Structure 1
């Protein structure tokens, strides 16, 4: 007996609705994907890799030091946003309201709230010390003393510069005076992160991060950074993490943009699904 065409159409629509609802629930609470736009985690993770992210584990426990973690940027990264493909932009429509227009970063967790970190040379290589010791899961990773470990007042200047970014004349004057005061290298670092001028048409409106996550908690950068005997020490505030990339010389990470609120954590990448030739699990650091 032939089915009524209208009944077939109705059943098909209902099935599609159920499928969309199920996919949305899975996307919101269980799994999601991301495309890696930069080389900050090379050789562990490469540019263009598509990762499968599992979200349940970090709902039941905190990420551990040394774990590769995916998190929402606590600011809008306009350059990375333009690198996303259509599929990623569509999937991000389901992102939490407070992170609309933000992008995902994948880095390694190196410190939690209350931890004090610094970088020291060991056998000719820079290592990260957390509370006076090199964590077991970070012994095979080398880091460079850049960002806040080179310029302790970097985050303050990022905040100031980003508030002037939309006033081109004042912004140029600020960067020029900064180059005279702190050096051309420092001024260029600020410009490369904040952006906002030709030929740099991308960047991070850093003040949004400060106003949204730091000021409400009365967090002042000066209270968490100290210099002692030529060594820079950074203390992580309550409710925040510190992330760094394995490819230290090419990583825009917490050395540059600062602390990441815990609520920005999404999950852990468990599988590389693209390119197919590299299909497989994301390996922990001590299995490299």
Structure 2
């Protein structure tokens, strides 16, 4: 009698384990499909979008809309960086690292950025100074309606036309006052391949007498 009871328990346990295994596989497949095609979560590690999005906030990123239309200027978009950002990857949680396993293979070890779209290829973006306030963004010579209430400050290539080259090849600029900072950035960002492919130089940058700075998007 005891032997039969033990066999029943074993069979029952085996059956339950198989069912749990099936449920787990189905859940993983469903999660992969949902994450790939519909939406996914994203942890924001930095304050580059502050105050709109604060560091540490988790976003639910919807993927369906842009399957039917192009992103519009003013949209907040999430995209894969064309370079490896080790600094950003160190700041994300274990859950997000696991979710990265479902990412397109070409983006393994790449980070996702969340930014506001201010221009597209062929556009000229200008930062025009507003005394006592900051800078407004002009797109192709016009104040973009969707960005009318936003205040910006010059950073990156808007401050230094050679910014991207310094990020990729800091040793070319050992006499630069920010050489050490660029050297650290070059260790955190694998920027060389990206720079070599999308080389940007001073030909794209214009500084006018009124203090406005414009950059042509290649």
- Tell me the TM-score normalized by structure 2: 0.84
- Which residue pairs with 1:256 in the alignment? none
Q: Which has the larger radius of gyration?
A: 2
1:110-162 C-alpha deviation (Å, 9 max, x unpaired): 1111110111112432111111112111111111122211211222222222x
Greater relative contact order structure (CA < 8 Å, 6+ sep): 1
Q: How big is the shift at 1:9?
A: 3.5
Tell me which residue corresponds to 1:236: 217
Q: CA RMSD in A?
A: 2.3
CA distance in 1, matches of 2:17, 2:156: 59
What corresponds to 1:56 in structure 2? 64
- The count of residues paired between Structure 1 and Structure 2 equals 207
Unaligned runs of 5+ residues in structure 2 are 1-7
Shift of 1:220: 5.0
1:225 aligned onto 2:202? no
Which of residues 98, 111, 126 in structure 1 aligns to 2:106?
Answer: 98
User: 1:178 corresponds to which residue?
Assistant: 175
Q: What residue in structure 2 maps to residue 206 of structure 1?
A: 191
Structure 1 match to 2:147: 138
Structure 2 CA distance for aligned equivalents of residues 10 and 127 of structure 1: 61
> 2:183 matched to which residue of 1?
191
What is aligned with 2:93? 85
Structure 2 residue aligned with 1:148, among 154, 157, 160? 157
C-alpha deviation, 1:228, in angstroms: 4.7
Shift in Å at residue 192 of structure 1? 4.7
The answer for the alignment partner of 2:3 in structure 1 is none
Following the alignment from structure 2 to structure 1, what is the Cα–Cα distance between the partners of residues 35 and 26? Answer: 14
Measure how far apart 1:210 and its partner are.
Answer: 2.4
Mapped contact 1:33–1:53 kept (Cα < 8 A): yes
Matched, 1:127 2:119: no
Secondary structure of the residue that 2:79 maps to in structure 1? strand
| 8 A Cα contact 1:115 1:130, kept in partner | yes
User: For residues 219-240 of structure 1, what are the alpha-carbon distances to aligned partners after superposition, in whole Å with 9 as ceiling and x for unaligned?
Assistant: 5535533445464321112xxx
Distance in 1 separating the partners of 2:184 and 2:136? 26
- Separation (CA, whole Å) in 2 of partners of 1:187 and 1:59: 42
Question: After TM superposition, which residue ranges in structure 1, 4 or more long, deviate above 6 angstroms?
Answer: none
Alignment equivalent of 2:28, drawn from 16, 20, 24: 20
Alignment partners' CA distance in 1, 2:52 and 2:213 = 28
